[in-house]
Amino acid sequence: MHDKWTIEEENAVSEFRKTMMDVVPKHLYQDKHLFYKFLKARNFNQQQAELMLTKHLKWRKEIQIDTIITDFKPSEALQKYISQSFLASVKKATYCSMRQSVTVMEKESLAKR
């Protein structure tokens, strides 16, 4: 995302951030683009953007978006029928199931040498 905002947009974002300082969690507060997106979505109407952001934060809390990776406990059925381990290829950012043939991965790694 680019930072080519007009002076009015920068001022609006700055003012909006000050307004929401006590409401928005620190890890989200640092992201100026977050505030810009909500203001832009509501045509820079700060009251509407504030309402929208407040609803968004409530939704994040209800769904537990910020902790879903660490707190998620799969059900017994999910563990039984979809239990797989994954290997990751960091360079390609792709994933390979352990159930797939390992020889394919070995051939790929040998071809790169």
The neighbour count for residue 35, using CB atoms within 10 Å, is 22
The band of 101, judged by pLDDT with boundaries at 50, 70 and 90, is: very low
Return d(Cα 47, Cα 45) in angstroms, integer: 6
* Selected residue with higher pLDDT from 9 and 86: 9
The predicted-structure confidence for 59-70, as pLDDT tens digits, reads as follows 999 988 888 888
pLDDT confidence of residue 12: 96
* pLDDT exceeds cutoff 70 at 112: no
Question: Percent of the chain beyond pLDDT 90?
Answer: 50
| 3-class DSSP string for 7-30 | HHHHHHHHHHHHHHCCCCCHHHHC
Per the prediction, the chain carries an average pLDDT of 79
Angle, alpha carbons 65-90-109 (nearest 5°): 150
Say what the alpha-carbon torsion angle 105, 100, 97, 82 is, to the nearest 10 degrees. -170
